[in-house]
């Protein structure tokens, strides 16, 4: 299967779409918070049948973020991640191309790579030592004479559709039915190229295990109502209740929000200047969360496990490695803060909401004007379910 790896063009100049959102942002004194009342049925978060349908009709038919390019930044690196029941292996071959495979040995179905990240030119199954290269080819096995007629060329790893675009590695989880990657290779990738995502340095990574439905995790990043309240002792100092500017790139949501120092007179088309006084954030459908801070970019990759269990990979990405110990200390402080924010605030809240909804005490979730993006995302999930019937 042909793999596609786009060569990014780093440009500090905002795209037309980003600039349009930025130009629409009012002065802080002129903010008028949106007024809206809406509801989402509680069953969409707790119904096991709906969860199973989401895995099959959304996750198996849509381009999914597996990891940032920075996770396997160099040739001969590979990483493993489980996504919606599919063990996925992403590799970067010696020519720099990204590939994706089912992380499953073709001998007996053993999960091939047990560690989440490694640098090696070969993949050796821990069960019977069948060995593959990073192109997925079977290159060796012990005692081949006991498999009469075996042709190694016929037993390479099962390749998954894969596109590297905008500094992210996107995969299709159904090898026989590649998804349409056009929604991630055009305008969305161009936006991320402004951030230089392909060339960012991965400072650190954490994986959170959350006892909540995956859509509650997504909701936590789609809701600007909670920021100055749930995060009153952490992130609230950096933000304000913002009249967010929101649009869509296909099924993906793009958002621009104020920082406390925002001034319209300071608007330019330069990303490096704008990130200091406003926040770009993206929710890529169905499982990506990207937030641009003044000094780093946060990427969350959401991986459903069960109707009430989710794993989230958090990556903190910088323009470059720390140049001295002082900068390294600042990076560690920032990472530790985000671990605290997610684990003890956002994901704690998601778990408490999951418990409340599963109690049956309420039949609907109420949304207000600062939660309009939740409605947008839930509608996109429903539309994907309906389109795949």
Task: List the one residue out of 373, 63, 66 whose CA is nearest residue 248.
Answer: 373
Domain positions in the chain are 1-63+187-389, 66-179
Is residue 10 predicted with pLDDT exceeding 70? Answer: no
Is residue 53 predicted with pLDDT exceeding 90? Answer: yes
The pTM score is 0.93
Task: List the one residue out of 370, 347, 255, 259 whose CA is nearest residue 300.
Answer: 347
Cα–Cα distance, 61 to 172 (Å, whole number): 7
User: In the prediction, which pLDDT does 11 show?
Assistant: 63
The residue-averaged pLDDT of 27-36 equals 90
User: Quick one: angle between helices 16-23 and 187-194, nearest 10?
Assistant: 70
Is residue 186 predicted with pLDDT exceeding 80? Answer: yes
Higher pLDDT, 345 or 164: 164
Task: Name the CATH topology of 66-179.
Answer: Rieske Iron-sulfur Protein (2.102.10)
Higher pLDDT, 107 or 4: 107
Is residue 2 predicted with pLDDT exceeding 50? Answer: no
Q: Are 117 and 202 in contact (CB under 8 A)?
A: no
Q: How confident is the model at residue 119 (pLDDT cuts 50, 70, 90)?
A: confident
- Structure tokens given for 8: 């990014």
Mean pLDDT of the chain: 92
Look up tokens 């000094």; give the residue: 295
User: In the prediction, which pLDDT does 37 show?
Assistant: 92
Task: Name the CATH topology of 1-63+187-389.
Answer: Naphthalene 1,2-dioxygenase Alpha Subunit; Chain A, domain 1 (3.90.380)
User: In the prediction, which pLDDT does 3 show?
Assistant: 44
Task: List the one residue out of 259, 258, 235 whose CA is nearest residue 341.
Answer: 235
Higher pLDDT, 6 or 268: 268
What residues have CB less than 8 Å from 49, skipping those under 6 apart? Answer: none
User: In the prediction, which pLDDT does 246 show?
Assistant: 94
Percentage with pLDDT > 70 across the chain: 96
Is residue 1 predicted with pLDDT exceeding 70? Answer: no
User: In the prediction, which pLDDT does 224 show?
Assistant: 80
Task: List the one residue out of 38, 4, 56, 33 whose CA is nearest residue 389.
Answer: 56
The SS3 call for residue 366 is strand
User: In the prediction, which pLDDT does 120 show?
Assistant: 80
Percentage with pLDDT > 90 across the chain: 83
User: In the prediction, which pLDDT does 238 show?
Assistant: 66
User: In the prediction, which pLDDT does 236 show?
Assistant: 58
Cα–Cα distance, 176 to 220 (Å, whole number): 34
What residues have CB less than 8 Å from 48, skipping those under 6 apart? Answer: 307
Q: Are 88 and 66 in contact (CB under 8 A)?
A: yes
Cα–Cα distance, 209 to 305 (Å, whole number): 9
Q: Are 168 and 313 in contact (CB under 8 A)?
A: no
Same fold, 1-63+187-389 and 66-179: no
What does the pLDDT look like over 275-303, one tens digit per residue?
Answer: 999 999 999 999 999 999 999 999 999 99
| Helix, strand, coil % in the chain, rounded to nearest 5 | 35, 30, 35
Q: Are 55 and 307 in contact (CB under 8 A)?
A: no
Higher pLDDT, 20 or 34: 20
User: In the prediction, which pLDDT does 323 show?
Assistant: 94
The residue-averaged pLDDT of 204-213 equals 97
Is residue 131 predicted with pLDDT exceeding 80? Answer: yes
The residue-averaged pLDDT of 66-70 equals 98
Higher pLDDT, 1 or 107: 107
Is residue 263 predicted with pLDDT exceeding 50? Answer: yes
Q: Which residues pair with 313 in a beta bridge?
A: 207, 301
């Amino acid at each position: 299967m042909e793999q596609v790896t786009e060569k990014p063009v780093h440009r500090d100049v905002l795209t037309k779409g980003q600039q349009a959102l930025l130009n629409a942002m009012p002065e802080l004194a002129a903010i008028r918070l949106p007024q809206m009342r809406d509801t989402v049925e509680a069953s969409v978060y707790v119904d096991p049948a709906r969860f199973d349908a989401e895995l099959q009709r959304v996750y198996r038919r849509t381009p999914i973020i597996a990891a940032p390019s920075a996770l396997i930044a160099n040739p001969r690196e590979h990483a493993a991640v489980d996504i919606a029941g599919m063990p996925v292996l992403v590799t970067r071959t010696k020519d720099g191309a990204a590939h994706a495979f089912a992380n499953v040995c073709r001998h007996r179905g053993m999960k091939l790579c047990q560690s989440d990240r490694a640098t090696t030119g070969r993949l050796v199954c821990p069960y019977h030592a069948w060995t593959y290269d990073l192109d997925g080819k079977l290159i060796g096995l012990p005692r081949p004479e006991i498999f009469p007629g075996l042709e190694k060329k016929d037993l390479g790893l099962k390749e998954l559709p894969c596109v590297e675009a905008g500094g992210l590695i996107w995969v299709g989880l159904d090898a026989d039915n590649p998804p349409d990657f056009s929604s991630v290779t055009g305008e969305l990738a161009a936006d991320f190229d402004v951030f230089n995502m392909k060339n960012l340095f991965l400072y650190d990574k954490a994986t959170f295990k959350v006892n909540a439905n995956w859509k509650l995790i997504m909701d936590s990043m789609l809701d600007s109502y909670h920021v100055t309240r749930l995060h009153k002792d952490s992130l609230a100092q950096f933000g304000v209740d913002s009249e967010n500017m929101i649009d869509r790139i296909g099924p993906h949501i793009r958002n621009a929000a104020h920082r406390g120092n925002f001034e319209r007179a300071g608007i330019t088309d330069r990303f490096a200047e704008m990130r200091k006084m406003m926040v770009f954030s993206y929710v890529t459908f169905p499982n990506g969360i990207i937030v641009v801070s003044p000094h780093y970019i946060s990427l969350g990759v959401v991986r459903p496990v069960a109707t009430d269990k989710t794993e989230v990979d958090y990556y903190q990405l910088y323009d470059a490695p720390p140049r001295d110990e002082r900068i390294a200390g600042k990076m560690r402080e920032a990472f530790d803060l985000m671990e605290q924010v997610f684990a003890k605030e956002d994901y704690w809240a998601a778990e408490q909401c999951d418990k409340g909804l599963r109690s049956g005490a309420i039949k609907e979730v109420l949304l207000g004007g600062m939660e309009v993006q939740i409605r947008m995302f839930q509608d996109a999930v429903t539309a994907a379910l309906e389109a795949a019937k």
